[in-house]
Every structure is written in C-alpha cells, then in structure tokens.
C-alpha cells in the first residue's frame, strides 16, 4: 500500500495511491494512516491533487556516515557506531516544493536517502523486532549547508534550515528495505548510485540504536544516511532522488 498526503480541491487529506503510471488515483483515508485504513469514499485523479510531504513528523532522526564510501569521500574513516543528529519538523517539505538556498551558505549539498516512517510509539526496540514498528518507507533528501557543517563543528545549523528535508512522494508500506537501488540526479545527471545493502548499520539496527535514546512516535522519520556522490546544487537546478520500489522525489533549488 502507498500512503500519501495531498492537497485536494476541498482541503488536505491522507490518501492511498492506487494504480500505476499515468492513471494514479488518490483515495481519501478517514482520520490517520496508521493501522488498517478506512476510506471516506472520495477519490481524485492524481492530476487533480497536489502531493504534500507524506507525513508530518514530530522529529526527523538522521544517521550520518552510514555508507563507508560516503564517509571516505568526506575525508573520515567510517565510524564504529552510528552518528546521530536531528532535523527539525520545520525543515520538512513535500515533492515538487522548492529547496530554498540560504543566503549565508555558499555550498548546499543534496544527500539522497532511504527514509523509514515509524508506525507506533516505541522505545528500546530490539533490531529483531524493529520491522513491527515501521509504517513504511519513503524517499528523503538530507539537504546540508556543507560550509556551515564544516565551520560550526556540529551540524545543527547546517542541517536545519527550512526546506532542508524533502520527503515523498509517498510511503510504501510493503517494500523490503534490505537491498534497494538508490540514486540521485541533478538536472538529469546521475550523481549518486548505490544500494541500501551497502549501509553499515541496516534500518532495523538503526531503529534499535535510535530508540535506545528517545521514544519514537507515529510519523517520526528516520533518515538512514547517504551513499557516496554527494555534491552541491545551485539555484535553478532540480534534484531527484529515486529509491527502487518506492518512487522518485523531485525538488527544485531556488534562492531564499
């Protein structure tokens, strides 16, 4: 099942996404998308809605340097344990929305990532049971002001600007995260191309790690790290992140 959040002619709703290709239909879900959905009976052709971020998380937990080749391209050895940081809920935007490049940064990078969406409140989840706390998976872009990340000595400012967490286009509840192709293009040129099987800590290990620190709430998002090939984008360019079995997240970069 694919779950999206959309603006439709009369408001905003969670929907399931039915069909394939050009013939997608958004079918309105009553209330929230956790658990077995109930439907209102309303539906719209995909062309008549605008997709929004598929979830509004209370927090976005991010893992840095989870692909060895990306750690090396940043000039550091792969860490012995996951490196965890947060992005604020206010950084989240949806598919097609503009990534606003801050005036006080000279280098803003894309980082294509697999994003896990939590499905129920949980804490201290063993990796062996982590699958049961996941609602599904979407595509994320951990946009980073690389110059601020280097100059500040910690990552909060660099990772937290408004619009720095594109998510979408929807949450797929059935995909297996173990070995999915993940790629990023900039204006159509491939910049990142890897597989989720190259993660040093897999999604379930990361959930164990994160839930040892903080309670995870329904809708919280875990960004699982980016593979090698990160690089800068400038105003006027469009970045697209694709994860096999989920879809493509496309966002243009514009000046703030």
Q: Is 226 helix (H, G, I), strand (E, B) or coil?
A: coil
Name the minimum Å distance from CB 99 to Mg ion: 14
Q: Which stretch binds Mg ion (CB under 5 A): 21-29, 83-91, 104-112, 207-215?
A: 104-112
Tell me the residue number closest to Mg ion, measured at CB: 142
Please choose, from the candidates 90, 108, 115, 124, the residue with its C-alpha nearest in 3D space to the C-alpha of residue 214: 124
Q: Which of 16, 67, 109, 111 binds Mg ion (CB under 5 A)?
A: 111
Which one among 109, 142, 172, 240 touches Mg ion, defined by CB under 5 A? 142
| Cβ atoms of 186 and 252 closer than 8 Å | no
In this chain, which stretch among 77-85, 120-128, 142-150, 175-183 interacts with Mg ion, using CB under 5 A?
A: 142-150
Helix (H) or strand (E) holding 157: helix 156-160
Write down the least CB distance from residue 117 to Mg ion, Å.
17
Residues 6+ apart with CB under 8 A from 168: 4, 51, 52, 53, 54, 94, 95, 138, 139, 247, 249
Give yes or no for residue 184 binding Mg ion (CB under 5 A). Answer: no
Specify whether the CB–CB gap between 97 and 163 falls below 8 A.
Answer: yes
Smallest gap from residue 19 Cβ to Mg ion (A): 32
x/- binding map, residues 191-230, to Mg ion, per CB under 5 A? -----------------------------------x----
Instruction: For residue 177, give the DSSP letter.
Output: G
Q: Which residues sit at the interface with Mg ion, rule CB under 5 A?
A: 111, 142, 226
């Amino acid at each position: 099942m694919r779950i999206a959040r959309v603006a439709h002619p009369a408001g905003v709703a969670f929907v399931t996404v039915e069909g394939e290709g050009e013939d997608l239909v958004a079918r309105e879900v009553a209330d929230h998308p956790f658990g077995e959905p109930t439907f209102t009976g309303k539906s719209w052709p995909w062309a008549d809605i605008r997709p929004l971020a598929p979830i509004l998380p209370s927090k976005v937990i991010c893992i840095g340097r989870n692909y060895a080749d990306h750690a090396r391209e940043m000039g550091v050895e792969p860490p012995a344990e996951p490196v965890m940081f947060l992005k604020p809920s206010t950084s989240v935007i949806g598919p097609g929305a503009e990534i606003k490049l801050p005036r006080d940064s000279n280098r803003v990078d894309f980082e294509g990532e697999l994003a896990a969406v939590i499905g129920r409140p949980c804490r201290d989840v063993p990796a062996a049971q982590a699958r049961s706390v996941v609602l599904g998976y979407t595509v994320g872009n951990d946009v980073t002001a690389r110059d601020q990340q280097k100059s500040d000595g910690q990552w909060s400012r660099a990772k937290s600007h408004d619009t720095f967490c594109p998510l979408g286009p929807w949450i797929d509840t059935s995909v297996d995260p173990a070995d999915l192709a993940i790629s990023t293009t900039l204006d159509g040129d491939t910049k990142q191309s890897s597989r989720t099987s190259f993660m040093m800590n897999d999604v379930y290990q990361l959930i164990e790690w994160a839930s040892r620190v903080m309670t995870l709430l329904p809708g919280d998002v875990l960004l699982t790290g980016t593979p090698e090939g990160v690089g800068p984008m400038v105003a006027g360019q469009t970045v697209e992140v694709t994860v096999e079995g989920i879809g493509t997240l496309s966002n243009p970069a514009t000046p703030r």
